[in-house]
């Protein structure tokens, strides 16, 4: 970091430094803020452990030239984030000038297929999240009268935050929504203060809500994506399937089977249906990413 002059008083504690860093980055993505604050605290705490002979104020002044002010740290982190984001994001699909081109360009968009994979994956992750949340809460209530009830509950709530990070990584990779890559931490807190912060942070509880809601959402996502794909593909390739296999027939009303020429009429319906399904899959991916960001990531405010 390069040195910079500041007309304001320099932070005298690590907590003040991080608070100022958060304030400087208040307009940035909350997920980026959480990562930046975590990295800064980790670095400053490591330096503090190596220089116990210095007070926090003296240490921060010593690091001012080599590490930088909160403003410089924020600028460097945002610049790095922009570079990494450009390097890792999927290439943008060039928008077609025609309406027909814009409709069918969904087939060329990598986000379509990553969103589709996420929707199919949520059946498994939804079962895991729901089971963990419901079982953990139930056991916490059951153990409440026992001496290890409170420690068990606190460990369970800590695990909820861990699941939040795991889900965030899945969402960022598959849906493209920037999520935290570091856990949330507040400088200078005692163990009791950390416990209080965890239990009073409403994002902890909205994460529980998210985990419980992922079971019905996962079932809905999987059913829609799987059924939509299967029906659309069968309609699209019905003539080919019937041509090569006499056993393949589409039955209507239980007693009428479509003939091969009649199956040709299903092809445009299959193509339209598949295109519509892929557009809806991409839209669901975008909306779910926003929902997860709202429920799992703490606001910078």
Instruction: Read off the tokens for 108.
Output: 């060329």
3-class SS of residue 206: helix
Closest by CA position to 109, among listed 94, 87, 88: 94
What is the value of pTM for the model shown? Answer: 0.81
pLDDT in tens, the chain (301 residues): 444 444 457 888 988 999 899 999 988 989 999 999 989 998 998 898 888 888 889 899 988 888 989 999 999 999 988 888 776 666 666 666 677 778 888 998 999 999 999 999 999 999 999 999 999 999 999 988 888 889 999 999 999 999 999 999 999 999 999 999 888 766 666 778 888 888 888 889 999 999 999 999 999 999 999 999 999 998 888 777 766 666 556 655 555 556 667 777 788 889 999 999 999 999 999 999 999 999 998 765 5
pLDDT for residue 1: 43
Where helices occur in the chain by DSSP H, the ranges are: 14-24, 30-50, 56-63, 70-88, 99-104, 110-142, 149-175, 191-200, 202-236, 238-244, 260-264, 266-296
Closest by CA position to 299, among listed 184, 190, 191, 211: 184
pLDDT for residue 157: 93
pLDDT for residue 188: 61
225 neighbors 114 (Cβ within 8 angstroms): no
Closest by CA position to 278, among listed 93, 90, 109: 109
Query: DSSP secondary structure string, 95-148?
Result: PPSSHHHHHHGGGG-HHHHHHHHHHHHHHHHHHHHHHHHHHHHHHHHHTTTSTT
Residues 135 and 208: their CA atoms lie apart, in Å, by: 12
Residues 236 and 241: their CA atoms lie apart, in Å, by: 10
Q: Taking each helix axis as running N to C, give the angle between helix 149-175 and helix 110-142, from 0 to 180 degrees, rounded to the nearest 10.
A: 170
pLDDT for residue 230: 93
Residues 164 and 201: their CA atoms lie apart, in Å, by: 14
């Amino acid at each position: 970091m390069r040195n910079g002059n500041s007309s304001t008083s320099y932070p005298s504690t690590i907590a003040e430094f991080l608070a100022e860093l958060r304030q400087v980055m208040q307009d940035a993505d909350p997920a980026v803020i959480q990562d930046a604050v975590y990295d800064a605290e980790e670095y400053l705490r490591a330096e503090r452990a190596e220089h116990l002979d210095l007070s926090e104020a003296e240490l921060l002044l010593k690091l001012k030239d080599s590490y930088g002010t909160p403003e410089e740290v924020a600028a460097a982190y945002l610049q790095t984030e922009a570079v990494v984001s450009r390097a890792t994001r999927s290439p943008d699909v060039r928008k077609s000038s025609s309406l027909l081109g814009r409709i069918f360009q969904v087939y060329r968009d990598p986000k379509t297929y990553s969103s589709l994979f996420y929707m199919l994956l949520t059946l498994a992750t939804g079962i895991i999240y729901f089971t963990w949340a419901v079982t953990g809460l139930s056991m916490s209530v059951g153990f409440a009268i026992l001496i290890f009830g409170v420690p068990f509950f606190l460990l369970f709530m800590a695990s909820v935050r861990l699941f939040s990070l795991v889900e965030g990584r899945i969402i960022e990779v598959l849906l493209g929504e920037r999520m935290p890559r570091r856990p949330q931490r507040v400088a200078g807190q005692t163990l009791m203060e950390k416990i209080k912060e965890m239990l009073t942070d409403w994002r902890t509880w909205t994460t529980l809500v998210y985990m419980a809601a992922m079971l019905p959402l996962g079932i809905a996502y999987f059913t829609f994506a799987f059924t939509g794909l299967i029906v659309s593909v069968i309609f699209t390739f019905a003539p080919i399937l019937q041509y090569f296999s006499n056993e393949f027939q589409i039955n209507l009303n239980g007693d009428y089977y479509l003939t091969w020429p009649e199956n040709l009429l299903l092809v445009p319906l299959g193509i339209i249906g598949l295109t519509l399904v892929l557009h809806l899959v991409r839209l669901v991916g975008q909306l779910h990413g926003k929902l997860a960001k709202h429920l799992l990531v703490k606001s910078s405010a």
